[in-house]
Amino acid sequence: MELLAAHLQELAEQIEAYPVSSRSELEQFKAYFLGRKGVLSAYFDRLPELPREERARWGRQLNALKEAVLARYERLRAEIEAREAQQSPIGDLSLPGRRPFVGGVHPLTQTLRTIVRIFTRMGFAVAEGPEIETDWYNFTALNFPPEHPARDMQDTLFVDSEVLLRTHTSPVQVRVMERKPPPIRIIAPGRVYRNETISARSYCLFHQVEGLYVDEGVTMADLVQTLQVFARHMFGPSARIRLRTSFFPFTEPSAEVDVSCFLCGGTGCRVCKGSGWVEILGCGMVDPNVFEAVGIDPERYTGYAFGLGVERIAMLRYQIDDIRLFYENDLRFLRQFPIS
Ligand code: DAH
């Protein structure tokens, strides 16, 4: 028994002294003591040779040695891994992978794409024009009188007395009609700029989608029908529209269009401020003076036009209450709009 005790004592020392400096030596170490032909296994195998009353005591001692092997094994493994992590030029290979950052589509772009898709399906082509415009395209050709308040420095960002940042997408109407005889059926999405005080409701730039349809015999009924179809596709099958008379220099008659509040269905809520309706666009029949300016015969042709605000629609669609959120590029905001 004394001899056995001495052997086990020696084994305990060997367990701590066994040289390990690599992963393969670590595995050798474990196998040497605990493998099927290992040192400790041999002792376990011979336990039955001991007198019955001695077995439990020595069994416990052998188990303690086995635990010592496993404890050192774990300790060394952690050390080796930490060392490898430091040495690896690309960091700790044992860490779990990082999800790659996938970009999204900006909520304004998503809304713009939806609007464009609805109109192109109805047969509208997409037209574009410059964001830096002349006074002629932005105002004069659109029948703005010389002293019209919209030309005021307060609203318009001028480059010089003749050149400015367009304040709406309506100049694209002029550019298209100048280039091509009717029939014309286009939408013109794009950025517009205004010299306004920045607040939750207005920003120095925003987006519009212009619409223009010119042909023989185009009537206000065509306009209403087209906008009704648009509203249903944009806001859902139960959406209704209403027209309120209004004024724009380039249309006569002119109207502003409201859509029934898609949130409350018309009963009144926070989004529609209790009225059941929200304004989404301006429209009207193209003024004969505009046709004259681009050389289209107003006796032969008629047309309708409309201009809608993309931010407005996106804010309604997503219930966003501050327009500035679109332009701050705060990822906490943007991540709420997964790719659609
Ligand atoms: N250009 C107008 C604006 O920015 C919107 C508009 C109203 C466009 C009526 C139109 C229209 O084409 O017919 O406020």
| Domain locations in the chain as residue ranges | 2-87, 107-334
CA of 117 to the centre of ligand 1 (A): 20
Q: What is the pLDDT of residue 340?
A: 53
Alpha-carbon radius of gyration of the chain: 39
- Residue segments in the chain with a per-residue pLDDT below the cut of 70: 153, 340
Q: Per-residue pLDDT tens for 100-125? A: 877 889 999 999 999 999 999 999 99
**Preceding peptide of 253 cis, ω within 30°:** yes
* The predicted structure's pLDDT at residue 153: 67
Question: What is the Cα–Cα distance from 126 to 299, expressed in whole angstroms?
Answer: 27
Q: How far is the CA of 70 from the centre of ligand 1 (A)?
A: 79
CA of 211, closest atom in ligand 1: 12
Q: Which pLDDT score is estimated for 107?
A: 95
How far apart are the CA of 268 and the centre of ligand 1, in A?
27
Tell me, what's the pLDDT at 284? 98
Question: Ligand 1 centre and the CA of 170: distance in Å?
Answer: 6
Q: What is the DSSP letter of 149?
A: G
pTM of the complete model: 0.72
Atom of ligand 1 at shortest range from CA of 251 = 13
CA end-to-end distance (rounded Å), the chain: 78
Mutate to test the pocket of ligand 1, among 143, 306, 308, 312 (most ligand atoms within 8 A of CB): 306
How many angstroms does the Cα of residue 174 sit away from the middle of ligand 1? 13
Tell me which CATH homologous superfamily contains domain 107-334: Bira Bifunctional Protein; Domain 2 (3.30.930.10)
* 287 DSSP 8-state letter: P
**SS3 state of residue 259:** strand
CA torsion 139→149→205→236, rounded to 10°? -90
Q: Are 235 and 318 in contact (CB under 8 A)?
A: no
The predicted structure's pLDDT at residue 72? 93
Tell me how far apart the alpha carbons of residues 266 and 268 are, in angstroms, rounded to a whole number: 6
Parallel, antiparallel, or unpaired: how do β-strands 184-193 and 125-126 relate? parallel
Give the residue from 115, 100, 56, 108 showing the smallest Cα distance to 259: 115
Handedness of CA 299, 122, 139, 251 (dihedral sign): positive
Token look-up 């052997």 returns 7
Q: Are the beta carbons of 340 and 105 closer than 8 angstroms?
A: yes
> Could you give the C-alpha distances from 338 to 272, 286, 317, 319, in angstroms and in order?
26, 39, 14, 16
**pLDDT score, position 99:** 81
Q: Are 294 and 174 in contact (CB under 8 A)?
A: yes
Pairwise CA distance, residues 136 & 158, whole Å: 13
Closest ligand 1 atom to 169 CA: 1
What integer pLDDT is reported at residue 162 of this predicted model?
A: 93
pLDDT of residue 321: 87
For ligand 1, atom 3, name the residue with the nearest CA: 168
